[in-house]
A = this chain, B = another copy of it.
Amino acid sequence: MRVLLTGGAGYIGAHTVVELIAAGHEAVIFDDFSCSSPVAIERINEITGTQVCNRTIDVTDAEAVRAGIDETGPFDAIIHLAARKAIGESVSLPLEYYENNVGSTIVMLAAMREHGISTFLFSGTGTVYTHQEDLPFVETSRTGLALPNPYSKSKRICEEIMADFARTGPDRRLIGLRYFNPIGAHESGLIGEDPQGIPNNLMPIVARVAAGILPQVSIFGRDYDTVDGTALRDYIHVVDLARGHLAAIEHAERGMHFYNLGTGQPSSVLELIAAFEEASGRQITVVDAPRRAGDAQATYCLPDKAHVKLAWRAEFGIGRACGDYWRWQQQNPEGYRS
């Protein structure tokens, strides 16, 4: 298959490109490098021994997308990953999040229609589930209006638009993936997560503390009703996640279908930190902090639908993910700017 990846130089995008090429597919990247680095492309080339075709394109710009596809197409599938993803920033800049995330999805769906591309995969989030009583989340678990931030809402709105669009052409294959918490890095240590500014997610903070770049990890809430009082998340190795994308486009069915991509095995904040300490051989200083508004006590899925329908399941545990992330961290202490 010839696959167009928007945001293909990002954390999930770069790993997905590597897995696509390893499986014999051809990948083309559209990325505006506003939240990613062109160095990621060089690293993908190094890992795969290829020269990946890429264009600097803002995919909210319909004209630029049209010209880019005319030049680099045709394509069998679009994997639409380009998005802004910092939850805290989305609260202060909601218009930018809706414009970028919703606007780019409309542009790429219109491109699918215009260029006759049969398959479209959307990068969604498990934060669309709203009811803790539904744990573990399955694809039919309740979603709703009551999401805690514009980032999650923008992703849920894109799902709604896709579902409406799917009804206009029964031959179209639309996939909505709902990611849980991606961690880890490629085993080469050449590509990995490269947050801009101060990281928001647990894993990059833990890695920076292990590396001596940040002083400590804040534990936001010790009084949850969980195994050790800290929040539970379904951490999934980014390579497993990338392979989920591959499986999803290879097994795409007609219509609109949602799939959870997670391990089904939640870990607590303290368990993840302990795993990172073991993988890195470093001690990680933690400090207690109050719960954060909008944080759920637990988020994890039952990934059975993806297993049955896509013949996919996560293979790696958090120990392997921490080891891979630590290799990436050590080889690239300042990410792609190193």
Q: Is A210 an interface residue (CB 8 A)?
A: no
Stoichiometry (number of copies): 2
Stretch at the interface among A35-43, A96-104, A182-190: A96-104
Q: Complex formed: what's the CA distance from A184 to B260 in Å?
A: 50
Tell me, rounded to whole Å, the shortest Cβ–Cβ distance linking A228 to chain B: 33
Q: Are B106's CB and A168's CB within 8 A? A: no
Which partner residue on chain B sits nearest A160 by CB separation? B153
A-B contact list, 10 entries, CB within 8 Å: A95-B109, A95-B165, A103-B103, A143-B145, A144-B144, A145-B145, A145-B160, A150-B164, A153-B164, A157-B160
Q: Which of A143, A144, A145 has the largest number of chain B CB atoms within 10 A? A: A145
Q: Which residues of chain B are within 8 angstroms of A153 by Cβ–Cβ distance?
A: 160, 164
* Chain A stretch 84-140: residues in CB contact (< 8 A) with chain B: 91-95, 98-99, 102-103, 106, 109-110, 113
Q: Are A102's CB and B98's CB within 8 A? A: yes
Bitwise interface map of A from 138 to 182 toward B, beta carbon under 8 Å scored 1, else 0 = 000001110000100100010011001101100000000000000
Q: How many residues of A contact B (CB 8 A)?
A: 25
Q: Complex formed: what's the CA distance from A207 to B164 in Å?
A: 32
Which partner residue on chain B sits nearest A142 by CB separation? B145
Q: Are A95's CB and B161's CB within 8 A? A: yes
